[in-house]
Amino acid sequence: MDITVVVPLYNEEESLPELMEWIAMVMDANRFSYEVIMVDDGSTDRSWSVIEELSHQYRTLRAIKFRRNYGKSAALQVGFTAAKGDVVVTMDADLQDSPDEIPELFRMVKYDGFDLVSGWKRKRYDPLLTKRIPSKLYNATVRMVSGIKLHDMNCGLKAYRSMVVKSVEVYGEMHRYIPVLAKQAGFRKIGEKVVQHHERKYGISKFGWSRFINGFLDLMSVIFVSKFGKKPMHFFGTLGTLMFIAGGIIAVWLIASKLWAQFHHLKYRPVTDQPLFYIALVVAVIGVQLFTSGFIGELVSRSSTDRNSYLIETEIS
């Protein structure tokens, strides 16, 4: 099978018939063998009823329904697991992503050798203050931290080599960072394509301001786990050791200065009267705690069942 189109959705009953018709038209025109997997993330409207009706009209449509709303990441992960196509394309269900972009995305992955191609909505029709400006700041931060030079990291329209989606685990709200997760899994040929963005035709956006705070926290999590997930002692142990040494040096210096002044009959200030001494003790104690945390983390990591899980590209036997 050439393509699997994964469509996560939540309360999009109005747009689904038009979206499915549009996808089928593009696929048939290009003679692709394909499937569409719609994942209903616990919709409270008639979305599932509409999907059931569409399944009788389109034999290429498969659908999965969650009992409650779990979030976009969970919907994508389930869709990735079920996907059978050589190339997996993801797109939102609100008709802001154009299925007309699929053939070129497929070509870039299949024939140009990209592991992942992300859409770039260069011209957006979203509100300036609540969407476009925060999005620019967010993408600049992600580019700087991750080293992946994408202009629109969170674009829902992406294409992946099948092995990519089978190798990454999307959880929490990590759908924003699938390119980062893919890079960490060893897929480094990541491309970008300018795609057409349409104004929302039905309904309203399902994401609020909290996504910016959660997005930043998730970015810190994915960067930390990728670098220190299997070696927590390298982070906590190093930081704890440095803090313990710094606190110890300051405390010893204060005590030595007091003894030197006392020995030479000079005026001195008692060590316990100096705030710096207590700061040094606190720094040293925190250092010990960090070191212990790293040690415990290392024990947990060593006992993990996937501590030696590696992704094999190919082998000859």
Let me know whether 70 and 188 are in one domain.
yes
CA 71 to mean position of chain CA atoms: 13
Residue 8, beta-bridge partner list: 39
Let me know whether 223 and 239 are in one domain.
no
Let me know whether 252 and 167 are in one domain.
no
Report if pTM > 0.85.
Answer: no
Is the residue at 308 inside a domain? no
Is the residue at 59 inside a domain? yes
Is the residue at 244 inside a domain? yes
CA distance 19 to 37: 12
DSSP for residue 237: I
Is the residue at 307 inside a domain? no
DSSP for residue 197: B
**Low-confidence residues of the chain: pLDDT under 50:** 314, 316-317
CA distance 65 to 9: 10
CA distance 210 to 176: 14
Q: Which of 196, 228, 260 is the last residue of a domain?
A: 228
CA distance 254 to 260: 10
CA distance 95 to 213: 26
Let me know whether 168 and 298 are in one domain.
no
In terms of residue numbers, what domain contains 207?
Answer: 3-228
DSSP SS3 for 87: strand
* CA 2 to each of CA 88, 261, 267, 272: distance values in angstroms, whole numbers, following the listed order: 9, 82, 84, 74
For residue 196, report the phi and psi dihedrals to the nearest 5 degrees: -80, 135
Q: Which of 163, 194, 228 is the last residue of a domain?
A: 228
Let me know whether 121 and 237 are in one domain.
no
Let me know whether 245 and 260 are in one domain.
yes
Q: Dig out the tokens for 115 from the structure.
A: 């592991």
Is the residue at 220 inside a domain? yes
pLDDT in tens, 143-161: 887 888 898 888 999 999 9
Residue 281 is predicted with a pLDDT of 93
pLDDT in tens, 68-120: 999 999 999 999 999 999 999 999 999 999 999 999 999 999 999 999 999 99
How many degrees, rounded to 5, is the angle at CA 40 between CA 125 and CA 85?
85
Number of domains in the chain: 2
Q: Which of 210, 228, 246 is the last residue of a domain?
A: 228
CATH number at residue 166: 3.90.550.10
